[in-house]
Structure 1
Amino acid sequence: MSSTPGELQAHLAGGLIPAVPVPFDSNGRFHAGAHESYLRYMSAQSIAGVAVWAHTGRGLMLDAETARHVLRDWRSALPEKTVIAGVGAKTADLNSEQATTLTVSMAETAAEIGADALLVYPPTWLREHQFCDELIIKHHLRVSQVGLPIILFYLYEAAGGISYSSTVLDDLLALPQVAGIKIATLDSVMTYQDISRQLQARHPDKLLITGEDRFLGYSLQRGARAALVGLGAVCCDLQAELIRAHLDGNTDRFLELSDAVDMLAETLFISPMEGYINRILSALVHLGVIPRSAAYDPWGPDLPANEFDKIGRILAALTTEAHVN
């Protein structure tokens, strides 16, 4: 269901877009059975679509065969939903031209498989470049020539991204293929406030998508009209209802749900932050979606047993309060 930027906005507005993980076993092998179980689980959830190949799904780490397999399966499992593909490049031994070329190639592959839109990873290789701002814009312009709608990705530098100046943001948001921007500042509320204000004042036609797992409710209050979060990979109905309650002006329900979502986020998104993918997979184990043998992230830190147990207790508490099913 490919779309124009305007159609993409209409499909996503008011919705939850989970950034979905990929299950592996303890030997780092893709767990096909758990993946299929997760596809079935998500196909029944209250979501507007999914983001595949995002950081939660280790999009820049997957081998080409697994990456294609995963995206193809999500496209097949969600024929009426929006499938967004993260695109970027690992840059250890690449110059800026090579990194952009690889990003464009990844975008072309996503388009061939059937992705509806692209989430463009921040070009972190340009952080110290003499012509950083100019090359950031050129990078996105080249990706836009693939022809799919683009979602910009503002990832605060301290969280592993690159800081876009307000001028660069204005230029990026002016690109015709850009439908909106995902903002993920992790713990910089001021940065989120500044960018959301800029969008509201100068780019009201673009969709503000929150990526703020740790202050999801507040980010909606500050103008986000959709959520693309790793947190959304579990307990989808809880977060989808939070978004609806906000848009419907149901303040009491919104505040109640926001507390519940914060409880979940403050369990899964904690230090070490790279452990959040393992925690999400652990939550899926507790929810009965995947087996424990598939709850491994080959690129993340090992988690202590007490964290696995705590995740189970929090999910049980949310279930008791009828927030999770």
Structure 2
Amino acid sequence: MVRNSIGGKAMKIDTIREKLEHSFFPAVPIPFDRSGKIHETAQEQYVKYMDKQPITGVAVWAHTGRGLLITREQREYIFISWRAGLSREKIIICGVGARTVKDLTEEKFIKNTLEMGIHAKDLGADAILAYPPTYYRGKEYMDKKIIDYHKKIAEIGLPIILFYLYDEAGGISYSQKVLEQLFSIENVVGIKMATLDSIVTYQDVSKLILDKFPHIKLITGEDRMFGYTIARGAAGALVGLGSACQKLQWEMMDSFFRRDYEDFVKLMLDVDKLAECTFIDPMEGYIERMLYILSLQGIIPEDAVNDPYGPGLKQQDKEEIRKILQELHLY
């Protein structure tokens, strides 16, 4: 890539693209106290613990971190906490987007998104994870609007990881034509795929990247298809499941990258067990379930296992999580 007056930006994009190869980014939750405030002691303990784990960095302000629900001040505190506590070689990806709420205008939707992105850049974010623009779902000229939305985010100047979350999961589907346009935006370095039960969608996007856009890094966000999606072309992972039990998940990924397929299959089955007791209906409860694992392992205190935006934690969930962790020798 030619270095010119914007060579600094190009260098940054190349560096982030390289770091996405064989990468592991937990989408980190926020520990809250019972009153709904950030549990700062637990947050400090969590950051200190995570800095010692086999991770490339973290994704903050993503869905797991309730990025579109918390305040600007809370987002800033969370970012500063991670940046101060993580080793400098670990990178921070910030979720950027805007909530789709009643009576929201398109102008306000874009304004809110760009303000969040500029805030991330000002704080020192290394890259952006662009929330899917659900505002445009079903609207006229939807495809054009999706492309324009990402081009506006690209003007912020940070490397961008697209986020494909299909409609049934609360996102918006991108056609192949749209993806080809998005992959051609200079700042776009990768795409996080989270299609839940749509294996065909994942396979189709993986093949498109392999055939036509090899410079784009496919990043799995498939907690319930984690191992399979690594084997099916992902260069790395950005998953909520990664917020706990990182060593198990990284060893699974690494075994595949090293072509130790016998070990990979064994570890994949163990990771599946972990996902199948945490990413279950109601799906929004997964955040508090992951916090519960962190408390069982002594990483955060029990009174920090709260997600004020979730459905709560059932006793049955707790019992199943304890059982699986014991079976996997993680508790």
Matched, 1:39 2:47: yes
Partner of 1:59: 67
Pick from 215, 218, 243: which aligns with 1:208?
218
State the distance in 2 between where 1:10 and 1:77 align: 23
Q: Is the 8 A contact 1:21 1:57 kept in 2?
A: yes
The gaps in structure 2 that reach 5 residues or longer are 1-8
Q: Give the 3-state SS of the residue equivalent to 1:103 in structure 2.
A: helix
Pick from 216, 221, 242: which aligns with 2:231?
221
Counterpart AA for 2:90 = K
Deviation at 1:29, TM superposition (A): 1.3
Which residues of 2 match residues 271-290 of structure 1 at below 5 A?
271-290=281-300
State the distance in 1 between where 2:279 and 2:69 align: 20
Deviation at 1:104, TM superposition (A): 0.9
State the distance in 2 between where 1:254 and 1:153 align: 26
Q: Give the 3-state SS of the residue equivalent to 1:310 in structure 2.
A: helix
The gaps in structure 1 that reach 5 residues or longer are none
- Percent identical residues: 47
Matched, 1:24 2:32: yes
Which residues of 2 match residues 217-296 of structure 1 at below 5 A?
217-296=227-306
Partner of 2:323: 313
What is the number of residues matched between the two proteins? 321
Which residues of 2 match residues 75-224 of structure 1 at below 5 A?
75-78=83-86, 79-92=88-101, 93-224=103-234
Q: Is the 8 A contact 1:107 1:146 kept in 2?
A: yes
Return structure 1 stretches of 4+ with deviation > 4 angstroms: none
State the distance in 2 between where 1:103 and 1:36 align: 28
Q: Is the 8 A contact 1:28 1:298 kept in 2?
A: yes
Pick from 9, 20, 28: which aligns with 1:12?
20
Partner of 2:80: 72
Counterpart AA for 1:116 = D
Q: Is the 8 A contact 1:15 1:243 kept in 2?
A: no
TM-score, normalised relative to structure 2: 0.95
Deviation at 1:5, TM superposition (A): 2.2
